Chains A and B, each alone.
Chain A
């Protein structure tokens, strides 16, 4: 009975599946177990995409979507890059400025949604288009043909290429496979998880998501919570954008253009409801890792980008149908009981 209960937890099943896939790909091609070329980049990308997945999760919690998540990341990287290049700020100062830009964008998006009462989907979609033009335009106007800010502040390569092995407590050093990028990701995971499970704010967000009317009637400032969710989303997207830029090594308009699908895959696979009201913070990390293992595993097998896309699209559609099938079974069971 207890055994069954453990397996009912989506996260346990997902973790086991991810490990099984990892071992499967490793057995097919032992190059997959290579620490420097596979595992380290895998975890580094996983850390970045987890943060962006969390950005999506924050708005999913109130039943909204953020289609501009990638472009908010791009703006944050743009602001940070410009501050390094033109104002000569240090790594941390620029990063703070970038994250603030993300938060500001989230606030603007939330404000438009609350004031115009237009579906979040449409507002963020239009936001995405507008930002796409703006970001490219700024890069091209300021840097001409290169279309990138290339100034690297001191310490940027540290986050990009160092692992916990360089981080020692006395004689004990961390494992070489764990990238430094995991640190901000874990930090975000803990904060978001704490907010949703332990604070009043998190509970108010979730009740806004599960039933807007009920939340309003029980005295939750629903409009403020919509704003809050979008500000959190913008902030996390900003952090994700910086992580993407540091990994990339330069600040370009292409940053964040590939994250829309992964930002949904992580939370949805982890068990976050698209309709709002339920989040899976740790599940986002596990879901993200699973998609990355599939992606990386297939590419180590020598399978091209084309098939990767097909596989990831199928995973998303399957993950969505699984929820539907479960619902169907539950309703059949309930009918049987009646």
Chain B
């Protein structure tokens, strides 16, 4: 009796894990084992870290029923700040990383404050900040590639423990901390309550405004983590950083089972979905298909996942209503 309920609640995550394993094996078989070689496995895992981090950043905002369109430019700007500080102002790495994390968090806080002050949907506010930050990013990086910073950071990106790159470990630890935040802390539970039902949350004494502010700020912090990972995994920073983050940031949590209407989180789902998307990317490179096919298939899958989950939710609601009538 216990087992089916466990699987029913975790159906998305379970099936995603199965898809991930099957996809992984299929790639290994079709590449005649080349995919298992150290270099290509390393590449797969290294570039998995950023999608996980930005997926989590989007998930935090999705769980209050809003969204953050500025993920890409927030990441781009904080990468640019870190790179410029290290390359042009010779700041020590730890200080640059701290400032990078802080500035991303501050951008998130500004988003949150604007949403609370204007009481508008986060979408339109982050569309505005997206544009402003894009301007700042271009201003900071101009048309150059900044790579004259100490090489110890990219070297850190290349190092690994038992085949797992350090930066992937960083992303996974972030995911675990985030899961603890939502399951163990009062603030985390309040944020979820706001997402699930703002009115009910308000009536139980939760400040919705505070939850919105916290969610956007946390999203900023996670983008900061993604930027640190980016700067450690790439040879240099230019103005294109963050340009392709938006779709990836939505794809991972939505495919992973997060509802767009808010109130749910799926941290393991987000991580494993990021892995599946990464597999599609690898398969694309292996069969030398056009890059646009990835965004097409990810877009279609995202759209159908959303429609399916909404349809399921409505069906449950209808069933519940039927039950009420019976009672």
Contacts and interface: CB of A to CB of B under 8 A. Distances in A.
A112 B304 CA distance: 10
Contacts of A305: 135, 138
Given A137-B290, A320-B124, A126 B295 contact: no
Interface stretch (B149-157, B164-172, B211-219, B307-315): B307-315
B114 interface: yes
Contact of A274 (B121, B250, B260): B121
Contacts of A135: 292
Given A116-B310, A126-B306, A317-B125, A312 B131 contact: yes
Interface in B271-327: 290-300, 302-303, 306-307, 310-311, 314
B299 A129 contact: yes
A335 to B, nearest CB: 18
A125 interface: yes
A312 B133 CA distance: 11
Contacts of A123: 303, 306-307
Contact of B120 (A307, A308, A320): A320
Given A274-B121, A317-B125, A133 B134 contact: no
B78 interface: no
B37 interface: no
Nearest to A124: B303
Contact of A133 (B292, B311, B314): B292
B135 A118 contact: no
Contact of B135 (A116, A122, A127, A308): A308
Chain A interface secondary structure, helix, strand, loop or mixed? helix
Contacts of B120: 274, 320, 324
Interface in A86-130: 112, 116-119, 121-123, 125-130
B136 interface: yes
B128 interface: yes
B247 A129 contact: yes
Chain B interface secondary structure, helix, strand, loop or mixed? helix
Given A306-B138, A324-B118, A314 B296 contact: no
A233 B153 CA distance: 49
A314 B299 contact: no
Contact of A126 (B130, B135, B294, B302): B302
A133 B260 contact: no
Contacts of A308: 135
A116 B298 contact: no
Contacts of A130: 296, 299-300, 303
A267 to B, nearest CB: 12
B204 interface: no
A321 B118 contact: yes
Interface in A283-338: 304-314, 316-317, 320-321, 324
B161 interface: no
A134 interface: yes
B314 to A, nearest CB: 6
Nearest to A134: B296
Interface of B: 67, 114, 117-121, 123-125, 127-136, 138-139, 247, 250, 260-261, 290-300, 302-303, 306-307, 310-311, 314
Given A127-B303, A309-B132, A309-B134, 18 more contacts: A116-B310, A118-B306, A118-B307, A119-B260, A121-B67, A126-B306, A130-B299, A130-B303, A133-B294, A133-B296, A134-B292, A261-B131, A304-B138, A309-B135, A313-B132, A317-B114, A320-B118, A324-B120
29 contacts: A112-B307, A119-B261, A123-B307, A126-B303, A126-B306, A129-B247, A129-B295, A129-B299, A129-B302, A130-B299, A132-B247, A132-B296, A133-B295, A133-B297, A133-B299, A134-B296, A264-B124, A264-B127, A274-B120, A304-B138, A305-B138, A306-B138, A308-B135, A313-B128, A316-B128, A316-B131, A317-B132, A321-B117, A321-B118
